[in-house]
Chain A
Amino acid sequence: MNENRREFIRKTGLGVLAGLGVASGIFHKSSFETVLASTEHEDEAKGTRLGMVIDTRKCKEGCTKCIDACHEVHNVPQFDNSKDEIKWIWKDPYKNVFPGESEQFLSEETKNRSYLALCNHCDKPPCVRACPTKATFKRGWDGIVTMDYHRCIGCRFCMAACPYGARSFNWRDPRPAIDKINQAYPTRERGVVEKCNFCSERLSQGLKPACVAECPEGALTFGDLNDPHSEVRDLLKNNHTLQRKSELGTRPSVFYII
């Protein structure tokens, strides 16, 4: 071997060792140690984080009271084709709402029931990360993921980013497709994305979200997930629950008792 090359290798090796030494000094809890890989699912209770627990056992098949109430209150248009469709909350079978969950040897009852799907108001929302104008954002004071319809440019990046299909786009003017316009809440315009807002307009008046208030079975419970004494936390403590696609690290704020 060439003398120069040997020298070069020797010096490089020493350099790397020295570098590692320095690095281990700088990063005191260093990367050489084993650390717990999954921190995504741990609780970090800071401020208010509004969330919902859905007791799917109580949810009646064929009942659409919560859906109707939501869509009526928020002037959600009803188009009869799936292309233009806009929905904030809807029902779908188990395999569609929980695609990652096992369907092997599932009880017929669980398999055939319909499950409510709505925006999960994720603690780490991918839609907020994707939005190029901050038109969709997470409210710092209560954790609701909401939209500023004044700012949305309609690029639909958030729709590509949402792993739950919770977002709809106004492909055409929504007003003609609204049966009964609720004067107390604005409509949207053609060209913007929209989604569930956890009824932030009702919350500001001290009311519960429309779907929660309208459910005759009391299947929906709403409250602060960060408050250990809240009703939702009680339910979470006493029941085994699912979050949709929790493996994606979005930390959904909607929980399901199956």
Chain B
Amino acid sequence: MKIKEQILIFGGLALFFFVVTYAFWQEGEAKKIRTPVAKSSSEHCIESREYMRENHMLVLDDWRKSSVRKGDRIHVTPDGREFEKSLKTCFECHGSRGFCVNCHSYASARPNCFGCHQEM
């Protein structure tokens, strides 16, 4: 193999690894975000704060399926409280869609609820 070709191959490989690992060469740490706060304390929510943080999307998906397709519009919590399955219910405590957008834009995960639902 000619020297010229070797330079091309190994140079190319080096460039590739540099580009791929570039993000890790940067100093610093992740940006902090302000965690949005609900108007009322988290005991009012249908589940614990930890559970909702991890599973709110599953809850919403379940609500949408069971209310639209089965007509089951009432959510009953394990301790017997009842909520209407609606985004309105969420925003009664959580204010506005800003509550969602805050984290979602940070995580670059776009919720597609608000193309139709228009709770402010």
Chain A residues close to B by CB (< 8 Å): 137, 139, 141-142, 146, 148-150, 181, 183, 186-189, 204
Check if A150 sits within 8 Å of B118, measured CB to CB: no
Decide if the interface of chain A is mainly helix, strand, loop or mixed.
Answer: loop
Contact with A along B98-120 (1 / 0, CB 8 A): 00000000000000000111111
Chain B residues close to A by CB (< 8 Å): 64, 68-69, 71, 73, 115-120
Closest to A144 in B: B71
A24 to chain B, nearest CB (A): 44
Residues on the A chain within 8 Å of B68, using CB: 146, 148, 150
Decide if the interface of chain B is mainly helix, strand, loop or mixed.
Answer: loop
Check if B118 sits within 8 Å of A139, measured CB to CB: no
Closest to B67 in A: A204
A181 and B68 CA atoms in complex are apart in Å by: 22
Residues on the A chain within 8 Å of B120, using CB: 183
B68 to chain A, nearest CB (A): 5
Residues on the A chain within 8 Å of B115, using CB: 189
| Cβ-defined partner of A186 (8 Å) among B69, B73, B117 | B117
Closest to B116 in A: A186
| Cβ-defined partner of B69 (8 Å) among A148, A187, A189 | A148
A147 to chain B, nearest CB (A): 9
A150 and B62 CA atoms in complex are apart in Å by: 13
Check if B116 sits within 8 Å of A149, measured CB to CB: yes
Known interface pairs A148-B68, A189-B115; 15 further A-B residue pairs with C-beta atoms within 8 A, sorted by A's residue number = A141-B71, A142-B71, A146-B68, A149-B116, A150-B64, A150-B68, A181-B118, A186-B116, A186-B117, A186-B118, A187-B116, A188-B116, A189-B116, A204-B71, A204-B73
Residues on the B chain within 8 Å of A148, using CB: 68-69
Most buried by B among A141, A150, A189: A150
